[in-house]
Amino acid sequence: MKMLFLFAGLLVQGIAFAQSAGQQQADLSYTYAELRFVDVDANGGDGIRFTGSYELENNWMIVGGLTALDFNNNVDVTTVELGGGYVWHYSNDFDLVSTLRYVRADIDTPGGSSDDSGFAFSGGARGLLTPQFEVRGSVNYINLDNSDTYLEIAVDYYFTEQFAAGVSLEFAGDVDVFTIGARWFFK
């Protein structure tokens, strides 16, 4: 786990170093809706994830999401998240972001169903390497049944100011998750 935090810290510094000092770019928007296809490598799971964020005043935001996954062994997992976050504008085109969310998961199996709730915390960075190319990285902690810490790395390409598409990878202990999807920005 120490290596995970070290890697995340190096990622943040590397992205910040890659930013051109004289480059002026538009502010990143935190008012968006996102739809992603999710592929979980463990047990052949896949599904969809819908997330959204709404930017408030003074760098605060509201975040939420719904993830629905189906696994090959007739297990369905539905997760709902709702919370808030804060954005620190590190430079003209680079932000540090943290969120705290309440999480509820419902699991349906052939033998019955169960649910669990807990909290999730994320801390990371988001920045524009060029006006059309965004990178994100974060360290995430979730406390559902068993606690887990994982690293997420993502890239998006902006086709217009309102529409971007890209991929993300999440690396956890025994499970890796790949997503592909798009964001629609409202501000």
pLDDT (tens digit, 9 = 90+) per residue, 4-57?
Answer: 444 444 444 444 444 433 344 447 999 999 999 999 986 678 999 999 999 999
Q: State the Cα–Cα distance between residues 169 and 167, nearest whole angstrom.
A: 7
- How many Cα atoms occupy the beta-carbon half-sphere of 143 within 13 Å? 7
| CATH numeric code, 2-185 | 2.40.160.20
Q: What is the mean pLDDT of residues 144-168?
A: 93
> Residue 5's pLDDT is what?
44
Read off the pLDDT of residues 79-103 as tens digits, 9 standing for 90 and up: 999 999 999 998 888 999 999 999 9
Whether this prediction's pTM lies above 0.85 is answered by no
Tokens of 102: 């309440």
Strand ranges (DSSP E) for the chain?
32-40, 45-55, 60-71, 75-91, 94-109, 112-130, 133-144, 146-158, 163-171, 176-185
Read off the pLDDT of residues 114-155 as tens digits, 9 standing for 90 and up: 999 999 999 999 999 999 999 999 999 999 877 889 999 999
Tokens of 67: 């993830």
Q: In DSSP terms, which residues pair with 155 in a beta bridge?
A: 135, 167
Q: State the Cα–Cα distance between residues 147 and 143, nearest whole angstrom.
A: 4
> Residue 92's pLDDT is what?
86
Can you give the residue ranges of every domain in the chain? Answer: 2-185
